Amino acid sequence: MVRLLGAQDRLLSTIETQYPGVSLHVRGNEITLAGEPGQVRAARVLIEELIELVKQGQDLDAIEVRSSARILEDGSGRPSELLGQSILTSRGKTIRPKTLGQKEYVDAVDENTIVFGIGPAGTGKTYLAMAKAVQALQRKEVERIILTRPAVEAGERLGFLPGTLTDKIDPYLRPLYDALNEMMDPELVPKLLAAGTVEVAPLAYMRGRTLNNAFIVLDEAQNTTPEQMKMFLTRLGFGSKMIVTGDITQVDLPVGASGLRLVTRVLDGIDDIHFARLTSDDVVRHSLVGRIVDAYSEYDQVKQAERFERSQAQEFASRAERRGAAPRDRTQRRGKSS
């Protein structure tokens, strides 16, 4: 029961939030549900699915509860089957998709050569991509892992950094090192890096290379230019897989278009290339992150609508001005001819 509802029954309120017409009471190993019959039946199915997830060894939190409820409401299948897939186990921690969107993203990686994971912060784009890369290496499906990202500051200039070239680019690549150390033995990571089995490098170092038998992850791809994106994608060699992750709402490029935003139009519909689009429903950080993402999305939509209305009004005014100027021009021409 503790594994099902958490310490101090902290997940009980999450279930009650999903079904406001149901009251839950826990005594010992028994859960009593009362309330509106339809919601009681739905809550019972949810709890039964959560029990199955616990039997599979999952440690539940509010994310799994909300995701399971959403899957049951959509009729997409059984949460215990969709969310029970284990990607990687490291130091007693199992990495698996926590939402239906993440499950579809992970399945797309297995079925396609190039996958684009596009979504807001906290949806697990990079984390799951790293897990699939480590899994492929452990299964000997690839010979090496190559992790890269563009070296672009997030909205502020840091100036010249001290040290060697490695010291200068290390801050930009630190999130990738952190994920590696979490998914692999920290003592093993330096050896793999020294042997070239795992390579972490800035995107600028990719030009001129052909990457065979490798699992390649490009992170923060929204900060690539169209030319950089084309250069990276054409590095693909035989026996390799690519995952490109990014959030097109957080572009830090000082000028120019985002290569990630453009590539969604250029490569859409090509076989063996998949675009996985994650949403605020797939956020696995604090629940506030999802609401922040939704708030900014709503704000952007309002601003886009206002810009469209202004452009339409300006176009209407210019047309009216042209129509008003035409008769005067004809009158002036008649006066000159007479």
- The length of the chain is 338
Q: Summarize pLDDT for 282-331 with one digit per residue, the tens.
A: 887 666 776 787 787 777 777 777 777 777 777 777 777 777 765 555 55
Say if pTM beats, i.e. exceeds, 0.85: no
* Radius of gyration of the chain from its Cα atoms, rounded to whole angstroms: 26
Beta strands in the chain (DSSP E): 22-27, 30-35, 88-90, 93-95, 114-118, 144-149, 198-202, 214-218, 241-246, 273-277
Largest CA distance in the chain: 105
Burial 278-298 (b: 16+ CB within 10 A, else e): bebbbbbeeeebbebbeeeee
Per residue in 214-249, is it b (16+ CB within 10 Å) or e — as a string? bbbbbbbbbbbbbebbebbbebbeeebbbbbbbbee
Of all helices (H) and strands (E), which one includes residue 38?
helix 37-55
**Do 246 and 222 meet the contact criterion of CB atoms below 8 Å apart?**
yes
Q: Which residues contact 52 (CB under 8 A, 6 or more apart)?
A: 78, 79, 80, 84
Instruction: Give the pLDDT score at 153.
Output: 55
Determine how many CB atoms are found less than 10 A away from the CB of residue 95: 20
Angle (deg, nearest 10), helices 165-183 and 125-138: 80
* Residue 187: other Cβ atoms inside 10 A: 8
Q: How far apart are CA 121 and CA 119, in angstroms?
A: 7
Q: Whose structure tokens read 């791809």?
A: 221
pLDDT recorded at residue 161:
57
pLDDT under 50: residue ranges of the chain:
155, 158
Strand partners, 95: 88
- pLDDT at site 337: 53
Q: What is the per-residue pLDDT for 326? A: 58
Residues 6+ away with beta carbon under 8 Å from 190: none
Dist CA 263 CA 272 (whole Å): 15
Going along 247-326, which residue ranges are E strands? 273-277
